[in-house]
A and B are shown apart, each in its own frame.
Chain A
Amino acid sequence: MIVKTLSHWIDSRLHAAKFVRSALNHVFPDHWSFMLGEIALYSFMILVVTGTYLALFFHASAEKVIYRGSYHALDGETVSVAYRSMLHISLDVPAGLLIRQMHHWAALIFLWAILAHLARIFFTAAYRKPREMNWLIGLTLLLLALVNGFFGYSLGDDLLSGTGLRIGYAILLSVPVIGPWLAFLFMGGTIPNPAAIPRMYALHIFLVPGLIAGLLVLHLGMIWRQLHTNYPGSKRTNRTIVGSRLWPSYTAKSVGLLLLVFALVAALGGFAQIDPVWIYGPYAPSAIMAGAQPDWYLGWIEGAMRLFPGIKLHIGHWLIPELFFPAVLMPSLVFGALYLYPFVEKLFSSDKGDQNVLRLPYEQPFKTAFGIGVFVFMLVLLIAGGDDVIAVATDSSVVELRRILRILVIVAPPIAAMLTYPVCARIRRRKAAVAATTPQEIAVLEERHEGSATSSEELLPPHLDEGPGSHLRLGRTGASPTSEMGHSDIF
């Protein structure tokens, strides 16, 4: 009754009934891999909620004070106000440690979900027209998430975050020509500098999350407008969308997923200790901890920095520091390649029009092989990022391990790619052979590529081409093959 009155009140002021109806009827495809992006979205929500709570207690100041708090092991030590407030949150505020650990775990899950989501988009070719813009936005979101994660664990002014800041400063400094300016803009001078913490704080809790939120709205708005892609299958064509309606089943499942992600984060925050700053101790200029590790999502850059050989490169009187290649150039190339990928692929593809049905990885052997190669490259770098920890754990020499990893990082990606290609190509050929014997499959294949440049003559053996419309009665089918049909041969 109240709901009805209220909705009438609103509608008579906004003319909302039509929109609400179409919104509640909006169709979302069901597949586990479509939930990865949702998990990222929900982790972001958790980050905002827990982060707001933390901001009420955290003091972003590098001012030095004598610690006289409840943690007696550090009694009388000179620490920064930021570090003291971290200890206060962790040890004195009721549930403060829980919220802090949840915030950190949510960040790790956020990055994990974004990367898994990116891999899903890449390997199923969901970035094709009309979704190129969303690919660009998604990559930008990944970049912002990486940077904000770094700011987050650097704010505490503990010994580990101090180590991270030193390295971050060195990376900025290594950029040719403008490096010193960049490093000073970030740090406010040479390291260590009290200006860095308030700067990172403003970026971490306001500017970057604001950008992420804005881009997320665009990201989701585009999905809403363009409708989600479908995996190939029954009734799924370029002109149709198959799935659950927003109301009620999709809403229930999605809110359920939000709560389950939240529960996972709460359990991790409660039971799995992360970043125990009181054990690390405060940042001190001449102190350093062995086995220092960045959060996992920056491990690939850390690994590249460890593996890249010490090359001293001069251009006249100028120096290009060895750090520039693994820590600035390599990530820029990776992100540059990712940003350009859909447009480069388009050059080699005969796809025209909107592509609303996903491709399966085996349908595009070359691209899948390339993607697996890049994945293995990243994996070796990630392992290299912890080579000292691995060496200690396995009681081996870090020098030997580094030598092996330096070889692996060059050799393993092409081998992985070369193993992937024939596997995909064979599966594709097999499926094509099976499809060629069942007319239904091919009929639906044609249906799927409706609107694409490939004409039915190219796709169909003549005796199977029964003319348009004949396939509409044929319902169920498997994934359709695209091999050896002149359709996007390379990718």
Chain B
Amino acid sequence: MSENEERREGGAGAFLNLGWRLLELGWASLKLLGTVVDRLLPAKVAFEPIPESGRAADRKMESESQMERREWWGTLFVLCAFLLAILGGIGFVIFFWSGSTGTKLLGGSLAVFLGGIGVTLVVWARWLMSQKQAVEPRHELQSSPSEREDASEAFCGGVRDVRRRRLLKWMGLTGAGVLGAMVVSLMRSLGMSPDASLYSRIWKGGQRLVTLDGKGVSLSSLQPGSMVTVFPENKIGSERAQTVLIRVKEQLLQLPEERASWAPAGYVAYSRVCTHAGCPVGEFEAEQSLLLCPCHQSTFDVLRAAAPTGGPAARPLPQLPLYADADGNLHAGGEFTAPPGPGFWDIL
């Protein structure tokens, strides 16, 4: 390919070329790695065949005296383990009836009982039982053609004996359909269709902001840099209505134009339910003016209408417009800017 042609191909060609080079590089480095591994493996690896399993005893490689010793020690071991188990079991009963609810004593003695019997059985199997390796043929799983033919004939023969087959088919289908409709109807009792509560923006204009103990909040309640959880008067303690009220220095606020009047004296209010997975956004970092969700570490910028600044959340916390009445008491100026909580298909 001449230089001219190469240039005419332009970006795409160069991109492909780069991709090809990268592939080549990757392949070469894999080969290199393979060679290194090859060097690291010992020059003559003796790949031992998997040994015949089973104990020496079962391969008739044990002398008479070895066998006797094995049985003697095995019996001793089994007896000790069983004795320990029984002691553990008796211990459990005693601990239980003596009214001790010490979980450690009960769990420990139960473990000793079960473990002791378990060890007894395993040792028995390994030392005091024949462990001959059995070799058995596997049988073909697939049936022979004639068997298949017979089975199919048994089914089809039965079908042929049925009169009015089409009517039966239609009746079966209709019955199944009606049954399905009945079952789906029953599901309705589970209250599955999403109702207004999902789309509700909770607050109404004019509602007072109150804390968990029912006290109202006024302009003098908070110092700049502090936070309190508030609710509408009629929904104190409600999961979805929880709202975080924060006071910041007024001059720092960077709310959008249309929300400029929503923050009297630097008081801003946002939904306290994270828009990511619905945890309460419980932590406030006054220095950076960030709200932090402890579940997945989403952060929201309090100064900029709770826009997400990091972490997995994508949508801002819904904001609550605020106003102060003549006495300085804080009220909701309307509803949340969006339904609170995690997002869903038709939230917008």
Question: Interface segment, B60-68, B154-162, B294-302, B328-336?
Answer: B294-302
Indicate if the CB atoms of B297 and A321 lie closer than 8 Å.
no
Chain A residues contacting B126 (CB-CB under 8 Å) are 253
As a 0/1 sequence over residues 239 to 265 of chain A, the CB contacts with chain B under 8 angstroms (1 = contact) are 111111100110011011111101110
B291–chain A nearest beta-carbon distance, Å:
12
> Most chain-A CB neighbours within 10 Å: which of B47, B141, B272?
B47
A445–chain B nearest beta-carbon distance, Å:
12
Partner of A259, one of B31, B121, B194: B121
B3–chain A nearest beta-carbon distance, Å:
36
Indicate if the CB atoms of A478 and B280 lie closer than 8 Å.
no
Indicate if the CB atoms of B136 and A241 lie closer than 8 Å.
yes
> Most chain-A CB neighbours within 10 Å: which of B41, B277, B313?
B277
Q: Which of B179-226 contact A (CB under 8 A)?
A: 187, 190-195, 197-198, 212
Q: Which of A209-247 contact B (CB under 8 A)?
A: 225-227, 231-235, 238-245
Q: Does chain A have a CB within 8 A of B268?
A: no
Q: Does chain B have a CB within 8 A of A311?
A: yes
Give A82 to B103 CA distance when docked, in angstroms.
22
Q: Does chain B have a CB within 8 A of A271?
A: yes
Q: Does chain B have a CB within 8 A of A286?
A: yes
Would A249 and B345 be within 8 Å (CB), given that A244-B131, A311-B314, A478-B48 are in contact? no
> Most chain-B CB neighbours within 10 Å: which of A195, A269, A419?
A269
Give A178 to B345 CA distance when docked, in angstroms.
8
Indicate if the CB atoms of A244 and B133 lie closer than 8 Å.
yes
Indicate if the CB atoms of B314 and A322 lie closer than 8 Å.
yes
Indicate if the CB atoms of A169 and B278 lie closer than 8 Å.
yes
Q: Does chain B have a CB within 8 A of A364?
A: no
Indicate if the CB atoms of A430 and B101 lie closer than 8 Å.
no
Would A101 and B279 be within 8 Å (CB), given that A173-B344, A270-B110, A319-B348 are in contact? no
Q: Does chain B have a CB within 8 A of A158?
A: no
Partner of B141, one of A192, A311, A354, A427: A354
Indicate if the CB atoms of B96 and A252 lie closer than 8 Å.
no
Indicate if the CB atoms of B344 and A319 lie closer than 8 Å.
yes
Would A188 and B111 be within 8 Å (CB), given that A167-B279, A248-B129, A292-B295 are in contact? no
Indicate if the CB atoms of A260 and B192 lie closer than 8 Å.
no
Give A239 to B239 CA distance when docked, in angstroms.
64
Would A270 and B33 be within 8 Å (CB), given that A166-B277, A180-B346, A190-B197 are in contact? no
Q: Does chain B have a CB within 8 A of A27?
A: yes
Indicate if the CB atoms of B129 and A252 lie closer than 8 Å.
yes
Q: Does chain B have a CB within 8 A of A66?
A: no
Would A426 and B41 be within 8 Å (CB), given that A167-B278, A255-B121 are in contact? yes
Q: Does chain A have a CB within 8 A of B30?
A: yes
Give A305 to B112 CA distance when docked, in angstroms.
42
Give A227 to B134 CA distance when docked, in angstroms.
13
Indicate if the CB atoms of A260 and B282 lie closer than 8 Å.
no
Q: Does chain A have a CB within 8 A of B319?
A: no
Chain B residues contacting A266 (CB-CB under 8 Å) are 107, 110-111, 114
Chain A residues contacting B26 (CB-CB under 8 Å) are 418
B116–chain A nearest beta-carbon distance, Å:
8
Give A292 to B296 CA distance when docked, in angstroms.
9
Q: Which of A165-202 contact B (CB under 8 A)?
A: 166-167, 169-171, 173-181, 183-185, 188-192, 195, 199
Chain A residues contacting B49 (CB-CB under 8 Å) are 233-234, 441, 476-479
Q: Which residue of B lies closest to A165 (CB)?
A: B278
Would A259 and B114 be within 8 Å (CB), given that A189-B195, A245-B134, A286-B212 are in contact? yes
Indicate if the CB atoms of B53 and A30 lie closer than 8 Å.
yes
A381–chain B nearest beta-carbon distance, Å:
13
Give A419 to B36 CA distance when docked, in angstroms.
11
Indicate if the CB atoms of A321 and B343 lie closer than 8 Å.
yes
Q: Which residue of A lies closest to B105 (CB)?
A: A270
Q: Does chain A have a CB within 8 A of B311?
A: yes
Q: Does chain A have a CB within 8 A of B232?
A: no
Q: Does chain B have a CB within 8 A of A290?
A: yes
Chain A residues contacting B121 (CB-CB under 8 Å) are 252-253, 255-256, 259
Indicate if the CB atoms of A190 and B198 lie closer than 8 Å.
yes
Chain A residues contacting B278 (CB-CB under 8 Å) are 166-167, 169-170, 191
Indicate if the CB atoms of A398 and B297 lie closer than 8 Å.
yes
Give A33 to B138 CA distance when docked, in angstroms.
22
Give A178 to B193 CA distance when docked, in angstroms.
10
B288–chain A nearest beta-carbon distance, Å:
11
Q: Does chain B have a CB within 8 A of A330?
A: no
Indicate if the CB atoms of B136 and A308 lie closer than 8 Å.
no
Chain B residues contacting A286 (CB-CB under 8 Å) are 212, 229, 237, 239, 242, 272, 280, 282
Q: Does chain B have a CB within 8 A of A471?
A: no
As a 0/1 sequence over residues 304 to 318 of chain A, the CB contacts with chain B under 8 angstroms (1 = contact) are 011111111110011
Partner of B138, one of A231, A241, A434: A241
Indicate if the CB atoms of A262 and B118 lie closer than 8 Å.
yes
Question: Interface segment, A7-15, A92-100, A460-468?
Answer: A92-100
Indicate if the CB atoms of B310 and A399 lie closer than 8 Å.
yes
Chain B residues contacting A55 (CB-CB under 8 Å) are none
Indicate if the CB atoms of A226 and B141 lie closer than 8 Å.
yes
A353–chain B nearest beta-carbon distance, Å:
9
Indicate if the CB atoms of A167 and B133 lie closer than 8 Å.
no
Q: Which residue of A lies closest to B242 (CB)?
A: A286
Would A252 and B118 be within 8 Å (CB), given that A167-B295, A423-B37, A434-B45 are in contact? no
Q: Does chain B have a CB within 8 A of A421?
A: yes
> Most chain-B CB neighbours within 10 Å: which of A195, A311, A323?
A323
Indicate if the CB atoms of B133 and A97 lie closer than 8 Å.
no
7 A-B pairs with CB atoms under 8 Å apart are A94-B101, A252-B121, A286-B237, A290-B294, A421-B30, A441-B49, A478-B49
Instruction: Give A contacts to B, CB under 8 Å.
Output: 25, 27, 30, 94-95, 97-98, 101-102, 130, 163, 166-167, 169-171, 173-181, 183-185, 188-192, 195, 199, 225-227, 231-235, 238-245, 248-249, 252-253, 255-260, 262-264, 266-271, 285-292, 302, 305-314, 317-323, 326, 354, 356, 387-388, 398-399, 402, 418-419, 421-423, 425-427, 430-431, 434-435, 441, 476-479
Instruction: Give B contacts to A, CB under 8 Å.
Output: 26, 29-31, 33-34, 37-38, 41, 45, 47-53, 96, 99, 101, 103-108, 110-115, 117-122, 124-126, 129-138, 140-141, 187, 190-195, 197-198, 212, 229, 237-240, 242, 272, 276-280, 282-283, 294-298, 308, 310-315, 341-348
Besides A310-B312, A319-B345, 13 more A-B contacts (Cβ < 8 Å) are A101-B107, A166-B278, A184-B192, A190-B341, A234-B50, A241-B136, A271-B104, A287-B280, A288-B282, A305-B312, A306-B296, A318-B345, A435-B47
